[in-house]
């Protein structure tokens, strides 16, 4: 890239708002376009909830924090949560009746894949899908939920398999970055976590962006797929959850009752030019919402 090319670049990158000022602030305004953002967390941490929320919000015009575009949602495990997406779509249409169509789900294109090779094939089809202009709104968001599921059992830990797996990582991320830059897309990929046993600082001696370590549900964890995949993404967000036992007074009862309360935290692990930020959040009917401290 020459200095002349740099002068032609926009001063700021479009961003997709999460719809919560607290969480948007952690990301410097929202999910950045022209790059890959990873959401890391254990099951139940809120990764899929946030992805569903983004697919609806992407349809809003930029003046309201959206991208004025449709979404492609690629899911790799379990059945797709259509009922929850419909609930979010109805709630957002009620809040923005003049900005969202009556059926927001018609601008969300869902596709299931079962292995990495199939994902690569689908990503090749996506460019044709975008180019031929099949959609009412231009595609502005691609979600893959989750990337780790495609590699969990397909590859062994032999040197040859690890090499093939790394090549697949670079193939997939290279295609995604190419689409993001060519069409101005936001790309969001979810990743799972694995238990980590090792030195107190970092993973294999490498610091995890802004954090010394990742902790969730009383466990020390690291993102699945290792450092090879970590080099393929531009930004990473860690969603942690912790169960806390609290005493609750029950009316007319002789003693208190112990209940479990879930606390969730949004951590910016790393992102270009952004300092560490975190915020507690809750999952409500209308989506993920940050909690003021």
Q: Which residue has the higher pLDDT, 123 or 201?
A: 123
Mean pLDDT of 146-175: 84
| pLDDT value at 169 more than 90 | yes
The percent helix, strand, coil of the chain (3-state, each to 5) is: 30, 30, 40
What's the whole-number mean pLDDT along residues 73-95?
Answer: 92
Residue of 132 and 4 predicted with greater confidence: 132
Round to whole Å and give the CA distance between 122 and 127: 9
Nearest 5°: the CA angle 122, 126, 132 is 140
Query: Is the CB of residue 256 less than 8 Å from the CB of residue 248?
Result: yes
Please tell me the predicted confidence (pLDDT) of residue 201: 53
Looking at the chain, the whole-number percentage of residues with pLDDT higher than 90 is 57
Residue 157 has pLDDT above 80, yes or no: no
Higher pLDDT residue, 235 or 214?
235
Query: What is the enclosing helix (H) or strand (E) of 31?
Result: strand 31-32
pLDDT in tens, 46-62: 999 999 999 999 999 99
pTM (2 d.p.): 0.88
Residue pair 176/142 in contact (Cβ under 8 Å)? The answer is yes
Question: pLDDT at position 204, please?
Answer: 47
Residue 196 pLDDT > 90: no
Nearest to 88 by CA among 72, 65, 104: 104
pLDDT over threshold 60, residue 10: no
Quote the pLDDT of residue 200: 56
Which residues lie closer than 8 Å to 286 by C-beta, 6 or more apart? 88, 91
Name the least confident of 30-39, 129-138, 200-209. Answer: 200-209
Q: Which residues pair with 280 in a beta bridge?
A: 265
Q: Would you give the DSSP letter of residue 68?
A: S
Write down the mean pLDDT value for the chain.
86
Say if residue 2's pLDDT is above 60. Answer: no
The pLDDT value given to residue 1: 43
Residue 167 reports pLDDT greater than 60: yes
Instruction: Label residue 165 by pLDDT band (50, 70, 90).
Output: confident
Q: Looking at the predicted structure, is the pLDDT value of residue 102 above 80?
A: no
Distance in angstroms (rounded) separating the CA atoms of residues 75 and 55: 13
d(CA 175, CA 122): 11
pLDDT digits (tens, 9 = 90+) for 216-255: 888 888 888 888 899 999 999 999 998 775 555 555 556 5
For residue 153, pLDDT over 80 is answered with no
Predicted pLDDT at 203: 47
């Amino acid at each position: 890239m020459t200095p002349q090319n740099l002068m032609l670049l926009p001063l700021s990158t479009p961003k997709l708002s999460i719809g919560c000022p607290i969480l948007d602030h952690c990301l410097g305004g929202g999910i950045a376009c022209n790059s890959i953002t990873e959401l890391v967390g254990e099951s139940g941490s809120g990764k899929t909830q946030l992805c569903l929320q983004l697919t609806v919000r992407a349809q809003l015009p930029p003046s309201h924090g959206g991208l004025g575009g449709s979404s492609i949602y690629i899911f790799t495990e379990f059945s797709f949560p259509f009922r929850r997406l419909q609930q979010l779509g109805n709630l957002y249409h009620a809040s923005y009746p003049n900005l969202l169509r009556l059926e927001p789900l018609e601008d969300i294109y869902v596709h299931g894949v079962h292995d990495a090779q199939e994902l690569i094939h689908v990503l090749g089809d996506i460019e044709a899908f975008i180019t031929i202009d099949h959609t009412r709104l231009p595609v502005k968001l691609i979600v893959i939920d989750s990337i780790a599921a495609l590699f969990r059992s397909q590859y062994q830990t032999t040197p040859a398999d690890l090499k093939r797996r790394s090549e697949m990582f670079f193939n997939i991320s290279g295609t995604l970055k190419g689409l993001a830059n060519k069409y101005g897309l936001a790309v969001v990929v979810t990743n799972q976590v694995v238990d980590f046993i090792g030195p107190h600082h970092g993973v294999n001696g490498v610091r995890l962006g802004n954090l010394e370590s990742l902790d969730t549900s009383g466990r020390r964890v690291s993102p699945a797929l290792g450092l090879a995949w970590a080099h393929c993404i531009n930004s990473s967000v860690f969603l942690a959850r912790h169960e806390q036992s609290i005493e609750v007074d029950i009316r007319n009862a002789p003693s208190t009752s112990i209940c479990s309360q879930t606390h969730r935290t949004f951590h910016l692990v790393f992102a270009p030019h952004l300092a560490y930020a975190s915020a507690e959040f809750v999952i409500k009917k209308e989506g993920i919402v940050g909690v003021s401290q």
